[in-house]
Structure 1
């Protein structure tokens, strides 16, 4: 087989590889490979040269498959080694290298790079609540489907529905929303919800608080069990004590416990192993 025939066969293999990218860029990659492999004419035909060329082509096709078939949002992540997947049925708390906290919902995954403190970018699949440490020099970004949520320091929830819809609920601070291939940006305020579905983005309001209006303290105890998984042990004489309070739905458990202790002049102890809060 002569050199021209080998080149034609390799080109045929290249063209048959399906990629989710533009034909222009695919063609440019082939031309680069072609120039390096066939530009210099050797006086003698050597089979090993084209075996090597085929190997290079195979390597480039594998690399191109990685490049062309990954999402553009994943450019900084496809080599990342930090992948955390919550396979349990309960919410999992994850502390990131910058001390930001993530409550990762069941069957959800986050991916971030090794140099996270300087490159605070996360890919989310599923649902998670983020409590972000402020760092003006390094904005915190969450990529989910076609959307990007950018923050400096705040708390918010990002949720993905069946790989088609994304919703972002802001509890504190502010975030900027961007959508792939759209120039418009949306700045959310606390209590606003961003929804992206079927290439349409909209902002609406949601209730970010839980209100207790003259409720028994035991009702708050039930709320903590249901939302945080911790039992509350209260002195019997306080069981019928009434409370009126507004709680951020994503408030830290310790903040709620401290609030109760201050309102009723009680001391408390949190047992992490037993997941129990004891007031005295």
Structure 2
């Protein structure tokens, strides 16, 4: 392996720093290391490959000291996320807006952790269940760690759920995600309508699920009942519209406001959403 190739490989390893390190710190430390390991070539080097072996040994020693662990599969970080811990101790879904404007609907008895530099290093751990709607950022992939699994996305919506038997399931509603498992090289790419399940006997399974709710010539009041059950909002309609018929397909994780706007446009109605009372009023 030539010097340029070795330098590139060491740079890749160096970039896998713990979540608590900023990009500036990372770059400064690399510049210092690079100058010492790869000095300007004033004359032909006599040390050969052993200089690079020694440099790699120093690099690995430094990284182990910071808490990074290496394996043959994907790099898994010993992430220190205690700086921001959000737990849902209520009996209702808790909506959390992350520093990058991504949204998490955190289920009861669930918890998430992330570090202060989340906007540039979007890594988050979850215990329990959460529905993620991720803001797109091609320069900063969004990663969700749950037990041994890692979900990597750029911008999409999905649920992550773990149970007491350490079984993890990821269901994709929009976009695409890449799934990986600690100490395994294989990766799985999900498309909308697929669920990735990992846990029992350390096996991974991809299966399909129905991500839509269909209303076929149903009464508008039936949609009202659906919104109440799934979003917790009471929907009030003018009496003459309650038995109006509607045919529509709704993404099960669609934003409430989009559903309300759709009904408003279909029936030429105005609406108001009261967040405090959790009511949607059409008129």
TM range, smaller chain? 0.7 to 0.9
> Hey, what does 1:267 align to over in structure 2?
270
What is the root-mean-square deviation of aligned Cα atoms in Å? 1.7
* Structure 2: tracts of 5 or more residues without a match: 1-64, 70-74
Partners of 2:80 and 2:246 lie apart in 1 by 47
2:236 matched to 1:233? yes
TM-score, length basis structure 1 = 0.73
- Is structure 2 residue 123 aligned with structure 1 residue 133? no
- Measured in 2, the distance between the counterparts of 1:273 and 1:125 equals 28
Q: Which residue is 1:61 aligned to? A: none
Residue 202 of structure 1 deviates from its aligned partner by 1.1
> Does the 8 A contact of 2:68 with 2:76 survive in 1?
no
Deviations 1:77-99 (A, max 9, x none): 24x31000000000000000000
Deviation of 1:74 after TM superposition, in Å, equals 5.5
Q: Give 1 or 2 for the bigger CA radius of gyration.
A: 1
Residue 93 of structure 2 corresponds to 91
Equivalents in 1 of 2:238, 2:120: separation in Å?
Answer: 48
CA contact (8 A) 1:73 1:143 kept: no
Counterparts of residues 1-280 of structure 1 (less than 5 Å): 73=76, 75-78=78-81, 80-197=82-199, 198-280=201-283
Larger RCO (CA under 8 A, 6+ residues apart): 2
Unaligned runs of at least 5 residues, structure 1:
1-63
SS at match of 1:94: strand
2:25 corresponding residue in structure 1 = none
Equivalenced residue count is 212
Give the drift of 1:238: 0.2
